[in-house]
Amino acid sequence: MPIPKCSEDLTNLPPYVFIQVAKFKNNAIAKGKDIIEFAQGNPDTPTPKHIVESVCDAVTNDPTTHRYPTFEGIKPLRDAIAGWYKRKYDVDIDPDTEVLPLIGSKEGLGHLYCTYVSDNDYIVSSNPSYPAHYFTVNMCPGKLHMLPINEENNFMMDLKAIPQEIADKTKILILNYPNNPTGRTIDDGKIFDEAINFAKDKNMMVLNDFAYSEIYFDDYYPPSIMQHPEAKKYCLEYNSLSKSYNMAGWRIGWVVGNAEIIGNLKKYKSFIDYGISGFIQKAAVTALTGDQKCVEDMRKIYQGRRDAMYKAFKAAGWELEKPRATLYFWAKLPEKCKHMKSIEFVEKLIMEEGVVFSPGSGFGPHGEGYVRIALVESEEKIKEAGKRLERFLSKM
C-alpha cells in the first residue's frame, strides 16, 4: 500500500538552500576535494567557556531543569532579556508580558505566521531575504508579497510600492536590519518610523528580525525597533543567542514587543512545544547577564575575517563591498561569471576548488546574480580560499 503524499504546500517548496549546497559539497568530498566552507552562517568558534560551565552546572546540580520547562520561559531569563534592552537601548520591557523565549528565532517566526495568518492575509517581506521569512509562508494559509531590494533601491524596502489592496490585507510586515543576506544596515530608525506609520492605520504588525544585533563593525551600532515610542503598540523584535554567543546549536532566541501578540504566540506554542530546556535557559541567563567581553572578542574575530576576505578576494580579481554588520558579504557574481546562474557558479566552484558559497537564488528570486559568503572560516582559510578563487577565475 503506498504511503500518503505529503502536503501540496510542502511539495511545492524547493529544498532549503543549505541542503542543495550540502549535496554539492558531499559530491566534492567524495572526489577528494578539501573543503573551505562559507555557506551557512553557522558560527565556527565555540560557545564561551563560562556559558558552557553554566549549562553543566545546571544540568548536574539542578534536577528541576530535567523536567518539562514552563511555557513562558523562566523568570530570570525574561528578566535578563528585559535587562539586555535596558542596558543596550535604555528601553523598558515588561518581562512578564512583553517577552517570550523561543527555541531559536526561526521557530518563533514560523509559529507567529501560524498564529496570525489566515487564508486571505498577506505577509510582506523584502527579497532576497532569510529563507524562513518567506518560504515558511507556504506552510500556513496566508500569502506572501515580496518587496525586491537591489542596487537600484540601495537594498532598502520601498513600502510605497506595496499595492493598496495588499497593504489592506497584510498582517505582518517583516523588516530585518542588519540584513541577511545583503548585510544592509541602517543608521537611524527612519525605516522603523516609515513602517510604523504605514502599519498604524491598518490591521498590521511590524516585525524586526534583529538576529545580527551584536555582529557590527568599525564604529557602527545597529538601532532597535523597540526604541520607537510606539513600538509596543505595533511591533515585535526577534533575536537569537545563536550568533551573539555562538550558541546556534543550543536553540534559543526570543521575541519582545506587543503584549497581546506575545500572548497569542505563547498560546499557539503551548499546543505545539514545551519551550526550551531549563538548563539551556539558565545558561542563556549567564550569557546575557555575564561578562560581555566574549561578545567584543567575537566581533573582533569577524571584523578581522571581513578585512582579510576583502583583501584576499580583491587580490583574486573580485572586489566586494565590506559589510558594516552581519556575518555576510553579499557579492555580485564576478564579471567573468556573469553569464552563469548563481547555483551553477556555486556548484562549479565547489567541484573545482572546494570553496563553498551560498547561491543568491537560495534567498529568493531577487537574489539571483549574487552569492552570499559567510565569515565562518579562519583568516588562514580565507587567504587560501582567495588563492583558489584566483586560480578558478583565471580559467574562466
Ligand X SMILES: Cc1ncc(COP(=O)(O)O)c(C=O)c1O
- Contacts with ligand X, residue ranges (CB under 6 A): 41, 104-106, 130, 176, 180, 209, 211, 240, 242, 248, 253
Least CB distance from residue 346 to ligand X, whole Å? 18
DSSP-assigned letter for residue 70: P
DSSP-assigned letter for residue 23: H
Least CB distance from residue 52 to ligand X, whole Å? 18
Q: Considering the complex, state which of residue 116 and residue 130 has its C-beta at the smaller distance from ligand X.
A: 130
> What is the rounded distance in angstroms from the CA atom of residue 155 to the CA atom of residue 178?
11
Least CB distance from residue 269 to ligand X, whole Å? 14
Q: Considering the complex, state which of residue 106 and residue 366 has its C-beta at the smaller distance from ligand X.
A: 106
> What is the rounded distance in angstroms from the CA atom of residue 130 to the CA atom of residue 125?
10
Pairing of strands 205-209, 235-240: parallel
Residues 6+ apart with CB under 8 A from 114: 139, 140, 268
* Cell numbers standing for residue 342: 548563481
φ and ψ of 212, to 5 deg: -105, 25
Least CB distance from residue 369 to ligand X, whole Å? 20
Least CB distance from residue 104 to ligand X, whole Å? 3
Least CB distance from residue 391 to ligand X, whole Å? 30
Torsion angle of alpha carbons 322, 328, 330, 335, nearest 10°? 70
Q: Give the 3-state secondary structure of residue 217.
A: coil
| Cross-strand bridge partners of residue 147 | 126
Q: Considering the complex, state which of residue 129 and residue 170 has its C-beta at the smaller distance from ligand X.
A: 129
* Cell numbers standing for residue 231: 513600538
